[in-house]
A and B are shown apart, each in its own frame.
Chain A
Amino acid sequence: MSATATTGIDRIAQAFTASAKQAALMPYLMGGYPTLAESVRIGEACVGAGADLLELGVPYSDPLADGPVIHEAGTRALAAGASIAGVLEVARALSPSAPVVLMCYANMVFAPGAEEFVERLAQTGASGLIVPDLPFEEAPAVLAACDAKGIALVPLVAPTTPPERLAQIGRRARGFLYTVSVVGTTGERAALADRFADIVAHAKASTEVPVALGFGISTPAHAAQAAQAGADGVIVGTRLVRAAGESSDPSRAVGEVVAELAAALRGRPASGVDGLL
């Protein structure tokens, strides 16, 4: 990244338009899992395998939006000594390679105060912030702090979000609209791909920013279906966190899965692992 006035919001926008795939690919990794150093290697492996953006999770004691795999990874990262300072160093290390969007629960943003938190985040070169337990009614202070630093405060919408509310959220979206594809927490499940088109169409009608689909997307086939449904981006988390946890060489294991997802988004089915579950 150049030292010019390119903001995080700009970098995210460029990543979506520059992606040669049918949809931009955004892998999620849990900061500090299995270690902080390995997180950096995992993030680099993701970018090497075709990731356009990176979502970096901050481990938290009470992650209400997360299913058991990511919850457990966060618990282990905390037990291994991961701290917010450590995860921000991961963001600093990865930001030159791809726009990094930090995923962090509200209480950790409030702990030092929103302005101070965003200031520290901006200093790492990170581009965006997702706070999964901060609906727009509670977000004004964090949004103002992010806007002041050019950091994209990325909001979430869910299948339960009614139309008027979707429009309110879409208007305030920065970076992209994180569109939750299933009613539930994060996790691998057979998301109903035939609902993707509807969900994506509604989301896109509500906002000017790209629409990225996440939660419940775990296979190359799912990723391709999300792209075909019109999603501008695809977020895959739990599948990758599981890969990191199951392998003695986490960055290689995660990189392999990301490569398969990227291939599917280029329209080339990866061998062997395709098909709906």
Chain B
Amino acid sequence: MSTVEHRFGRYGGQYVPETLMPALTELELAWAQAREDPAYRAQLDGLLRDFAGRPTPLYRAVRLSERLGRSIYLKREDLNHTGSHKLNNALGQALLAKRMGKQRIIAETGAGQHGVATATVCALLDLECVIYMGSEDTRRQAPNVQRMELLGAHVQAVDAGARTLKEATSAAIRDWVTNVGDTHYVIGSVVGPAPYPALVRDLQRVIGDEARAQILEREERLPGRVVACVGGGSNALGIFTAFLDDAQVELIGVEAGGEGIDTSRHGAPLTVGGRAGVLHGALSAVMQDEEGQIVEAYSISAGLDYPGTGPQHAYLRDSGRARYEAVTDRKALAAFREVARLEGIIPALETAHALAWTLARSDGDLDLVCLSGRGDKDLAEVLAQ
């Protein structure tokens, strides 16, 4: 059985209350066994194909490519069932929870995409489901709240702090501390204590595995750059992983620049740098003050409005294998509208950050952008701007 990483360089670890440690050990063992079990693999692959609709297409964005004078390919995770890449992870973890005999599922959500994916899978597999969501996010992502409730989940609004993803995650962890015996926590990104960053990456790498094969078939070459947005960073790590050993392929993670990284109103801990810190159980890049208090992030996009990030991203940044830059709200909104008109694709606001980065570049020859989710959920927020 291969080992599940606890650390990525110095990042990662398990900074959690003792109550959870046995559950993390149990989860790690279950994952190490499941991922090498042909029966689990067959069940997951079957659902990814027939329920989620994988493989998702790789689409050459014709008018974007014309506009930019180079080939732009979009990996269409927006066409995955429930409208984002989040389902890949939720399916894998819910099947794992079933194997572990856990009947109750909890999850956090920011934009609501992970909450919808988890609620969907719980309906499919007949599992009890509680979704924690900051009350600011239940407001700006109201359609997703309605979807989750329709799917049978209980949506628990969280009023602490800035009432966004950070507090929703903390509330989910506290629930898990209290109900750890019968509950599995389906964390939605490559964050949290080990084994979660490795587990979620393993379940999301299908994005990059498919995309790499697809681009080789279409272009008979690898892309010059792979571009993806990064909040916690699961779609980015999902598409990066297949290209990590292709040294000639640049990997670009795009964080939320909010009102600008020279202000305090952003969600770009990797871009800004600074001292590493512990948030939600892992040591990684994090937005914090001198004393180690975690500070609030800000982004127009609820899914990127998070002061931490996955530990493997911090490692990839330090090692130089991936590069991280920030895109402001304003530029993401412009890209959101531009891609809608040019390509007939309404991207999620999160994804619009990655698209904006690409739109702003005049160099390169072949960009592969992870179109991580669709933007229907964001219409009210965008039209209100």
Contact = CB atoms under 8 A, between A and B. Distances in A.
Interface string A126-140: 000000111101100
Given A62-B294, A64-B16, A110 B178 contact: no
**Which residue of B14, B160, B174, B292 has the most chain A CB atoms within 10 A of its CB atom?**
B292
Interface string A77-106: 010000110000000000000000000011
Interface stretch (A6-14, A143-151, A158-166, A197-205): A158-166
Interface residues of B, number: 37
B22 A162 contact: yes
Given A61-B161, A61-B293, A158-B19, A137 B178 contact: no
B222 interface: no
Contacts of B21: 135, 160-161, 165
Interface stretch (A18-26, A48-56, A178-186): A178-186
A135 B18 contact: yes
A137 B14 contact: yes
A81 to B, nearest CB: 12
B17 A107 contact: no
B159 to A, nearest CB: 10
A162 B177 CA distance: 16
A161 B288 CA distance: 31
Contact of A106 (B22, B174, B278, B295): B278
**Which residue of B14, B23, B179 has the most chain A CB atoms within 10 A of its CB atom?**
B14
Nearest to B16: A133
A3 interface: no
A235 interface: no
Give the secondary structure class of A's interface: loop
B178 A133 contact: no
A110 B23 CA distance: 25
Contacts of A156: 17-18
Given A107-B277, A133-B278, A185-B177, A61 B294 contact: yes
A183 B177 contact: yes
Interface in A160-177: 160-162, 165, 169
Contact of A111 (B23, B166, B277): B277
Interface of A: 60-62, 64-65, 67, 71, 75, 78, 83-84, 105-111, 132-135, 137-138, 155-162, 165, 169, 180, 183-185
Interchain residue pairs A-B with the least CB separation, the first 4: A111-B292, A158-B19, A184-B178, A108-B292
28 contacts: A61-B293, A61-B295, A62-B170, A62-B280, A64-B16, A64-B17, A75-B160, A78-B293, A105-B278, A107-B279, A107-B288, A108-B293, A110-B292, A111-B291, A133-B15, A133-B17, A134-B15, A135-B14, A135-B16, A137-B13, A138-B15, A156-B17, A158-B17, A160-B23, A165-B21, A183-B178, A184-B19, A184-B178
Given A61-B161, A61-B293, A64-B170, 19 more contacts: A61-B295, A65-B17, A84-B292, A107-B277, A107-B292, A108-B291, A108-B293, A110-B292, A111-B288, A133-B16, A133-B281, A138-B13, A158-B18, A160-B18, A161-B18, A180-B19, A183-B180, A183-B181, A185-B177
